[in-house]
Amino acid sequence: DVKVTQSSRYLVKRTGEKVFLECVQDMDHENMFWYRQDPGLGLRLIYFSYDVKMKEKGDIPEGYSVSREKKERFSLILESASTNQTSMYLCASSFGAGYFSETQYFGPGTRLLVL
């Protein structure tokens, strides 16, 4: 079974802090994704990566950056956390060169609260 793990289930941070969210997948998938999920809005894509050190902006990249130094690990960075970044963050991975053409496998999510 594909396993996608996220470093924390719950996080509480203060405004202005730098926040790191980590995601690891164990199936040698090429593609990894970061989404945020807010009530009534569904999931929105922040960034994705199709290879080590490669990244592409999604729908809402402002205020975020990402890092993919190893194939299995994709990090989401909030450079200076703000209250409007309070959300559920979901990481996903998929196989293949078609980015979104194959099934995505999701981690359990990190619920971030920024005070």
106 forms part of the interface with other proteins (CB under 8 A): yes
Looking at the Cβ atoms of 51 and 79, the one nearer to other proteins is 51
Alpha-carbon dihedral of residues 59, 108, 10, 82, nearest 10 degrees? 0
Stretch that binds other proteins, among 11-19, 66-74, 79-87, 97-105 (CB under 8 A): 97-105
Q: Which stretch binds other proteins (CB under 8 A): 12-20, 62-70, 72-80, 107-115?
A: 107-115
Assess 3 for contact with other proteins (CB under 8 A): no
CB burial string 45-74: b at 16+ within 10 A, e below: bbbbbbeeeebeebeeeeebebbbeeebeb
Instruction: For the beta carbon of residue 87, count every other beta carbon within 10 angstroms.
Output: 20
**Which residue in the set 1, 40, 62, 84 belongs to the binding site for other proteins (CB under 8 A)?**
40
Residues that bind other proteins (CB under 8 A): 4, 33, 35, 40-45, 48, 56, 58-59, 90, 92, 98-109, 111
